[in-house]
Amino acid sequence: MDRLAAISMLWDGMRKRVMRGVPKDEAIVFIDAQRGADDLVVTICRGFSPDYLSWSEFKSLGSFATSAVVAAGWSCRKLDQIAESVREGLFLEEELDQLREQARHKRNRVYIRRPSD
């Protein structure tokens, strides 16, 4: 699945929950993280437009940013560690892939339920 299709699916699934009771200019949906030149780069949707920020800039957005990471099934602490490893030049792509897979698994567990649930 290409990145644009993944963003679209994630946005559709999370938009209603995130937008409920939050002004459009403050709503943030965390989409993905990838290695940048000297920091982790995150892809988010703010309002209705995608945005790319360094991890440091993203964290400076405050509690809305933290909530978006958690709602997407990611771990802020792990992303901090990965961002630090990028800055130190010790980045391992496998760590980010594993974190991405764990987030996908968490989202599936939340959104896909058996009829008995």
pLDDT digits (tens, 9 = 90+) for 29-79: 888 999 988 889 999 988 777 889 999 999 998 888 888 888 888 889 999
- pLDDT-based confidence at residue 27 (cuts at 50, 70, 90): confident
Whether 45 maps to a domain, the answer reads yes
Whether 117 maps to a domain, the answer reads no
Domain that holds residue 37: 3-107
Average pLDDT of every residue of the chain? 79
pLDDT at 106: 81
Listed in sequence order, the residues at least 6 apart from 35 whose beta carbon sits closer than 8 Å to its beta carbon are 41, 86, 91, 93, 96
Strand (E) or helix (H) holding 54: strand 49-54
pTM: 0.68
Whether 113 maps to a domain, the answer reads no
Count of domains for the chain: 1
Whether 114 maps to a domain, the answer reads no
